[in-house]
Structure 1
Amino acid sequence: MKTPYEERKHREALSWAKGLEKRGPIIQRKSKRIQTTINNWVPERVHKVVSGSVKQMIELSLTSSHYIYPIEVGEGWTLKEREEQVGARLKYYKRTAALEGAGTGAGGIALGLADFPLLLSIKMKFLFDTARLYGFSVERYEERMFVLHVFMLAFSSDEKREEILHRVLNWEDEKETIKEVDWKTLQLEYRDSIDFVKMLQLVPGFGAVVGAWANTKLMEQLAETAQNAYRLRLMGY
């Protein structure tokens, strides 16, 4: 039997999942043309940095302990206690991401390029912490794959979101059919989802403000996806 807190969070998670099934606003659906234009303006080295960073992130997250370090997790924690710890971790990582975005954004393109791999690392560390705080062992390959799917769900287009959401919500059945991640598709989806705000960060003069704001919002977007995904996994869809 669920506690009142669990009931409330379960309803919120179900509502969140239902909302993801809807198409994005028209401005979002038409943004692909804008993104394509922006992509043509951006130096190729920027795209190479993003692609290389995502590929490296996937390889590290699946094959190494790069994102795993000791944190305290109580086996008997209630959902509320677990989420209080997740909230504390999010606060820490948001502050880190904002400082990093402001610092690299202030330097224009040169330092802005460094922001992509740094922010990816912060996001993955947060996801690995979140998974463990909800009671899942990221030592297992299948749990690392779930973490990657949560990441993809947070930064996917309308066209890909439905497919990824189905996998996340039906993970016990889907995990056996997933052997590897299409990193090329992942990096394109991720890049297109953050292009507009992150490319503004490369503009000297106000890049620091944009960098801090953008990184904070991207962390909040990731946290919302992760928390609801794990709630539904724990309490059922």
Structure 2
Amino acid sequence: MYEKEIEEELSRWKRKLSKRPSVLGRYTKGLQSKMNRYVPEKIHSIVTTSIKNMVHATLVGSEYTTKKQPERALSLQQREEKVEKLVTSYKRTAALEGAGTGAGGILLGMADFPLLLSIKMKFLFDVASAYGYDVRDYRERLYVLYLFQLTYAREEKRMDLLRQLEEWEEKKELLPEKEEYLATFDWKTFQLDYRDYIDLPKMLQMIPGFGAVVGAAANYRFLDALGETAMNGYRIRWLASLPNKERG
């Protein structure tokens, strides 16, 4: 069964999340921290403000939820065929956007942050609808944010975020009204994780000329990683909803 194959893929993805970063990854992290000290505060401020606004719009706004009707009466395989097409399309869009802003140097490079965030959120909402979830429900929009956060989280936080996804069906029933939740949302930690993840390639993207190549490649990779997390996040919920006999 297709579900059995997906269950095996999901297990491999979970094991990958639990691995310690490679030597190269630790070196890159150190280099990134050094570079951060030379980044103008104005750029950090733009990133922080963009992410805060995106979190707020995701939880209470209608920008990403308009016309996002969930797909009904499809098998998991049919849904994932649609999602694969979404991943391909959005990766291409993100790469073109990154190349365009990267070619313009620092000013257009700064504009890339909110543009890329918008592309990512629209992608996640389309994926949620393809898997049959109604993003007009704020709890489903919150699940989208958890997927986003897990994609770009530091290694020490990944397993905790994974548990949040695995326990979501029980957890969502205990959530307060969205206004109350928004008042307590830890957007600062959320944006710091994301900023740390993207800092190094985005700083290189601001080099005129060279930045076009970096911007296209970085944005393509960011959407690829987001697509992998989103698919596995919804696979967790789909498989959990099946009787054991249907899971093989």
* Interval containing the TM-score (normalised by the shorter chain): over 0.9
2:229 corresponds to which of 203, 225, 230:
225
2:7 corresponds to which of 4, 7, 10:
10
Match for residue 206 of structure 1? 210
1:113 corresponds to which of 110, 130, 152:
110
Whichever residue aligns with residue 194 of structure 1, its letter is I
Structure 1 residues not aligned, in runs of 5+: none
Match for residue 102 of structure 1? 99
1:168 corresponds to which of 161, 165, 183:
165
Q: Contact conserved, 2:69 with 2:129, CA < 8 A, in 1? A: no
Q: 2: CA distance between counterparts of 1:201 and 1:32?
A: 17
Taking structure 2 as the reference length, the TM-score comes to 0.89
Q: 1: CA distance between counterparts of 2:68 and 2:53?
A: 24
Secondary structure of 2:37's aligned partner: helix
Q: 2: CA distance between counterparts of 1:122 and 1:146?
A: 17
Taking structure 1 as the reference length, the TM-score comes to 0.93
1:58-77 equivalences in 2 (<5 Å): 58-70=55-67, 73-77=70-74
Match for residue 185 of structure 1? 189
Whichever residue aligns with residue 139 of structure 1, its letter is R
Q: Contact conserved, 2:86 with 2:123, CA < 8 A, in 1? A: yes
**More moved, 73-82 vs 137-146:** 73-82
- The structural deviation recorded for 1:142 is 1.1
1:133-172 equivalences in 2 (<5 Å): 133-172=130-169
Q: Where does structure 1 differ by over 6 angstroms across 4 or more consecutive aligned residues?
A: none
Match for residue 33 of structure 1? 30
Q: Contact conserved, 2:59 with 2:142, CA < 8 A, in 1? A: yes
Q: Contact conserved, 2:152 with 2:194, CA < 8 A, in 1? A: yes
**More moved, 116-125 vs 191-200:** 191-200
Q: 2: CA distance between counterparts of 1:74 and 1:163?
A: 30
- The structural deviation recorded for 1:70 is 2.6
Q: What is the CA deviation profile of residues 173-208 of structure 1, one whole-angstrom value per residue up to 9, with x for unaligned ones?
A: 333368343111011100111111111101112100
Q: Contact conserved, 1:14 with 1:232, CA < 8 A, in 2? A: no
Structure 2 residues not aligned, in runs of 5+: 242-248
Q: 2: CA distance between counterparts of 1:213 and 1:16?
A: 23
Q: What is the CA deviation profile of residues 54-79 of structure 1, one whole-angstrom value per residue up to 9, with x for unaligned ones?
A: 00000000001101233575411111
Q: 2: CA distance between counterparts of 1:161 and 1:74?
A: 29
Whichever residue aligns with residue 18 of structure 2, its letter is E
Match for residue 200 of structure 2? 196
Q: What is the CA deviation profile of residues 30-82 of structure 1, one whole-angstrom value per residue up to 9, with x for unaligned ones?
A: 54432221111111111011101100000000001101233575411111111
**More moved, 66-75 vs 204-213:** 66-75
Task: Give the total of aligned pairs.
Answer: 234
Secondary structure of 1:41's aligned partner: coil
Match for residue 245 of structure 2? none
